[in-house]
Amino acid sequence: MLEKLNAILDRYNDIEAQLAQVGEDYQLAVELSKERADLEDVAVAARDYLETINKIDETKELIEIAEGELLDLARLELDELQEHRDEMEDKLRAMLVPKDPRDNRNVIVEIRAGTGGDEAGLFVADLLRMYLKYADIHGYKTEIISSNETGIGGFKEVTFTVKGKGAFSRLKFESGVHRVQRVPETESQGRIHTSTVTVAVLAEVDDFEIEIPDSDIEIDVYKSAGAGGQNVQKNMTAVRIHHIPTGIVVACQDERSQLQNKTRAMSVLKARLYELEEQKRQSELDATRRSQIGTGERSEKIRTYNYPQSRVTDHRINQSSFNIQAVMDGYDLDDFIEELQHVEEAERLASFETDATD
């Protein structure tokens, strides 16, 4: 492990030196900054660990020549240093397990109404509010990219960005089908209706990371529309992009100009293409390594929100909360997310240790 830690520190110091001399090469600066962010926590812990080892060696040398009270103090200090060394070894072993390379990226979240008609559209609005509140709690910045309203306070679909360190590491577990069970306001008989909403969480990519040839896309422009389909602008500002090789279609109409909408749509398209590549990579994993916390696919039912029982159940970890309002307000959502993170970390550690012994 010492060899690996020294290599990490050497690389971290090299990045620091390069960033000080990067000049106007924006792309290189972005790449180096991302790599530094990925290495920073490990580098800080590695320095602490290596300094502790040096102090242990120095203290052992002191014990060989010390007497009386000084000897007692040196032995006490050695015990404390060795205990700290053991703690840091456990911490570093976990930190050295390969992480999801997307974890520190910003995210694009797409929420779409599934089965359930108007009630599904209203739950899209509820989930949007939940995620915006959750992002605010964690200090993330959010921005709506596009939306298609139902006219009764709901959405057929809505897309927004969440920006901040570790955004993807938390929100990636939200991909999948969310089921809601409740009595609609328009239901006179008091019957419980079941509706579904699909959430997709995409890692945002930089423009230079994915090249899309002009020949691979078709771009249509049209008038932006408000709720109920009424035109709110006379200019053709809305943009729809069709990626011919994959069939992916992305539309954006919430910005004021055609150029802004095109930029937004291209950002979403690149995120979806990046997701396709990641899914392909995951599908190539040995079946025994498949995650127990789910695939992250949009068709996978991950959570049920039962309003009459004030219960939210995450089916991947078989965990429930009986304070649905606290979850929908964004406060208790971390109860699920943090447990899912722990399960993922345990799976990665088990896989890492298996590979190390093979």
C-alpha distances (whole Å) from 37 to each of 165, 241, 274, 283 are: 9, 33, 21, 28
Q: What is the C-alpha to C-alpha distance for residues 141 and 245, in angstroms, rounded to an integer?
A: 33
Is there a domain that residue 101 lies in? Answer: no
Inside any domain, residue 357: no
Same domain as 111, residue 91: no
Q: Which of these three, 95, 118, 139, is where a domain ends?
A: 95
Domain count, the chain: 2
In a domain, 218, yes or no: yes
Give the CA angle between residues 118, 119, 120 to the nearest 5°: 90
From 274, 265, 250, 290, select the one nearest 102 (Cα to Cα): 274
Q: How many contiguous H segments (helices) and E segments (strands) does the chain have?
A: 8, 11
Q: Examine residue 31 and state whether it is found in any structural domain, yes or no.
A: yes
Tokens of 314: 């995450």
Are the CB atoms for 49 and 85 separated by under 8 Å?
yes
Q: Examine the domain organization and report whether 174 and 59 are in the same domain.
A: no
353 within domain boundaries: no
Cβ-contact 76, 129 below 8 angstroms: no
Same-domain pairing of 172 and 286: yes
Q: Considering 61, 95, 129, which residue would you say is the last residue of a domain? A: 95
Domain boundary among the residues 68, 95, 122 is at: 95
Q: 258 and 139 in one domain?
A: yes
What secondary structure letter does DSSP report for 231? B
- The radius of gyration computed from the CA coordinates of the chain, to the nearest angstrom, equals 25
Tokens matching residue 83:
């205990």
Q: Please tell me the number of Cα atoms within 13 Å of 343 on its side-chain side.
A: 17
What integer pLDDT is reported at residue 170 of this predicted model?
A: 96
What CATH number should be reported for the domain holding residue 217? 3.30.70.1660
> Are 324 and 247 members of one domain?
yes
Please check whether residue 352 lies inside any domain of the structure. Answer: no
Same domain for 82 and 143, yes or no, is no
AA identity, residue 297: E
Q: What is the 3-state secondary structure (H, E, C) of 9-74?
A: HHHHHHHHHHHCCCCCCHHHHHHHHHHHHHHHHHHHHHHHHHHHHHHHHHHHHHHHHCCHHHHHHH
Give the domain extent around 247.
107-347
If asked whether residues 74 and 179 sit together in one domain, one would say no
Q: Rounded CA gap, 131 and 276, in Å? A: 24
What gap in Å lies between CA 109 and CA 162, rounded to an integer? 8
- Terminal CA-CA length for the chain: 17
State whether 34 and 137 are in the same domain.
no
Are 88 and 145 part of one and the same domain? no
CA atoms within 13 A on the CB side of 252: 23
CA distances from 161 to 13, 86, 129, 158, 295 (A): 32, 41, 13, 10, 22
Q: How many CA atoms lie within 13 A of 314 on its CB side?
A: 21
Q: Rounded to the nearest 5°, which phi and psi values hold at 167?
A: -60, -45
Q: What is the pTM of this model?
A: 0.73
pLDDT, position 231: 46
> Does residue 315 share a domain with residue 218?
yes
Answer yes or no: are the C-beta atoms of 165 and 37 closer than 8 Å: yes
Cα–Cα distance for residue pair 182/197, rounded to 1 Å: 14
Does residue 183 share a domain with residue 74? no
* Residues 56 and 201 placed together within one structural domain of the fold: no
Instruction: Read off the DSSP letter of residue 100.
Output: P
pLDDT at 76: 96
- Provide the pLDDT for residue 90: 87
Q: Which stretch of DSSP H or E encloses residue 109?
A: strand 107-113
Q: In a structure prediction context, what are the per-residue pLDDT tens digits for the chain, which is 358 residues long?
A: 788 899 999 999 999 999 999 888 888 998 899 899 889 999 999 999 999 999 999 999 999 998 999 999 999 999 999 999 999 998 898 888 877 888 889 999 999 999 999 999 999 999 999 999 999 999 999 999 999 999 889 999 999 999 999 999 999 999 999 999 999 877 778 899 999 999 999 999 887 788 899 999 999 999 876 544 444 445 788 999 999 999 999 999 888 889 999 999 999 999 999 989 888 877 765 443 445 455 555 578 999 999 999 999 999 999 999 999 999 999 999 999 999 999 988 888 777 666 555 5
Strands in 150-283 per DSSP E: 155-163, 176-182, 193-203, 217-222, 238-243, 248-252
